[in-house]
Amino acid sequence: MLRIGRSAVLSILACLVLAPGAEAAKTDVLVLRNGDHFTCELKVLQRGKLQVKTDGLGTIDVEWVHVKSVSSSGLFEVEDLLGRIYFGSLQPSLEDGKLDVVGLAGNRTLALALVVRIEQLRTTFWKRLSGSIDAGFSYTSSSQLTQFSLDASLNYRRPSFELQLTADSILSSQPEVAPTRRNSLEFGYVRFRGKRQLGFGQVRLEQNRELGYDLRAGLQGGWGRYLLRHPGNDVLVAFGLNVNHEIPVEGDATENLEGLIALDWEKFAFSTPKTDLSVQLLAYPSFSQWGRYRFELNARVKQELFKDFFVSLKAYESFDSEPATVGAKRNDWGVTLGLGYSFH
């Protein structure tokens, strides 16, 4: 099977040789299992949805399970369930339910059910960006409690790596009560290793006075593997180390070395309305302060209102067995409702 590095070189050569065909638009062919044929431009397959652009219907999403075959002379990056990467044009296979990836290294035949991602190879920098922004606001008249939340994410994807930038903020205010803030900013790098494995590194800045710290600056890294990679479900487990510098609300700053255990689960439902569910659990056992441990739980459900706009419900829980400031709360939790926009 092709290795990513060798395939990347071959794909660059293919770009030089086949560039005129790669620029052709709306000459691709999509055939559905019900017999419908579409002349279109194939855009991307991700999360079990194939996005195509047509003259008559505009840009539409098609569930991958309903696709019988695709054909394009353009150049694509194709990923299968095992995390293996292939480069080339796309042709229907002589075998029903399969796809041929035609590259300079030869043809590779893949079962459609095993394909999890297809992406145009000759896309611009801007077209490789995806992200979302989600804002929420609530007011309770009886307690005059006002809460504002903002979440944003930006991703840049290349064949062998992905850059991620995420930020979230929750501000709560109430008359005669000190306002509370929960803020975080994270920059991450993910290196895809094949066979559903990956390496990662992240820089994270956090503020949560409820848990007794003004700033927690952390650097973490490790290894992860997808236990399940399916058009409707992704399950990732990861292990690593985290080093952080903690500035408490009261007291002296400290440096901490912690372990990291992470579990991510994402589920996608494409029936109308489209719904995404994600759950992330992070555990940080401390090596420098024996007996201390932290947990982070984030769960979110998003439902599409209309194209690219969604409503979301987010629940979070943070727990620290030994808060940075003596007497501070050990846990902070909440639920927020928001409206958002996503792009890809």
Which tens digit of pLDDT belongs to each residue from 257-305?
999 999 999 987 766 677 889 999 999 999 999 999 999 999 999 998 8
Q: How far apart (Å, rounded) are the C-alpha atoms in residues 2 and 275?
A: 35
CB contact set of 232 (below 8 Å; sequence gap of 6+):
48, 267, 268, 269
- Domain co-membership, 87 together with 143: no
Q: Comparing 282 with 334, which gets the higher pLDDT?
A: 282
Question: What confidence tier does 176 reach under pLDDT thresholds 50, 70, 90?
Answer: confident
User: Is residue 160 within 8 Å of 178, Cβ to Cβ?
Assistant: no
Of 57 and 36, the one with more pLDDT: 36
In terms of C-beta distances under 8 Å and separation of at least 24 residues, what long-range contacts does 289-298 make, across chains too? 289/256, 289/322, 291/321, 291/322, 292/320, 292/321, 292/322, 293/321, 294/258, 294/318, 294/319, 294/320, 294/321, 295/319
The answer to whether residue 26 scores a pLDDT higher than 80 is: no
Q: What is the DSSP letter of 274?
A: P
- For residue 149, what pLDDT band results from cuts at 50, 70 and 90? very high
Residue of higher predicted confidence among 101 and 106: 101
Number of independent structural domains in the chain = 2
Average pLDDT, integer, range 166-171: 93
pLDDT of residue 159: 72
How far apart CA 13 and CA 89 sit, in angstroms, is 13
- Residue in the structure block whose two tokens are 């929420």: 136
Q: Closest by alpha carbon to 84, among 3, 191, 156? A: 3
Return the ∠ at Cα 65 (arms to 59 and 70), rounded to 5°.
Answer: 60
pLDDT band at 142 (very low <50, low <70, confident <90, very high): low
The pLDDT of residue 144 is above 90: no
Domain match, 326 and 246 both: yes
Q: Which domain holds residue 332?
A: 127-343
Based on the domain organization, do 78 and 29 belong to the same domain?
yes
Please indicate, yes or no, whether residues 183 and 314 belong to a single structural domain of this protein.
Answer: yes
**Would the pLDDT of 3 be above 50?**
no
- Among 107, 123, 139, residue at a domain's last position: 123
What is the C-alpha to C-alpha distance for residues 240 and 284, in angstroms, rounded to an integer? 10
pLDDT reported for residue 150? 94
Residues 117 and 162 in one domain: no
Q: Does residue 330 surpass a pLDDT of 60?
A: yes
Q: Which of 123, 138, 153 is the last residue before a domain boundary? A: 123
Task: Give the mean pLDDT of 161-178.
Answer: 88
CB burial class (10 A; 0-12, 13-18, 19+) of residue 327?
Answer: exposed
63, 64, 69, 71 alpha-carbon torsion, rounded to 10°: 90
On whether the pTM is more than 0.95, the answer is no
Cα dist. 200→4, 151, 223 in Å?
17, 22, 6
331 shares a domain with 212: yes
Same domain, 152 and 81: no
Q: Clarify whether residues 178 and 219 are in a common domain.
A: yes
Query: What CATH number should be reported for the domain holding residue 232?
Result: 2.40.160.40
What is the structure's pLDDT at 49? Answer: 86
Q: What is the pLDDT of residue 1?
A: 36
pLDDT beyond 50 at 101: yes
Q: What is the mean pLDDT of residues 207-232?
A: 90
Q: Is pLDDT above 60 for 18?
A: no
Which of 123, 141, 176 is at the close of a domain? 123
**In the structure, what pLDDT confidence band is assigned to residue 313 with cuts at 50, 70 and 90?**
very high
Please indicate, yes or no, whether residues 229 and 333 belong to a single structural domain of this protein: yes
pLDDT of residue 122: 59
Is the distance from CB of 84 to CB of 95 less than 8 angstroms?
Answer: no
pLDDT, tens only, 61-70 = 888 989 999 9
pLDDT at residue 231 in the model: 67
Taking CA 42 as the corner, what is the angle to CA 40 and CA 45, rounded to the nearest 5 degrees?
140
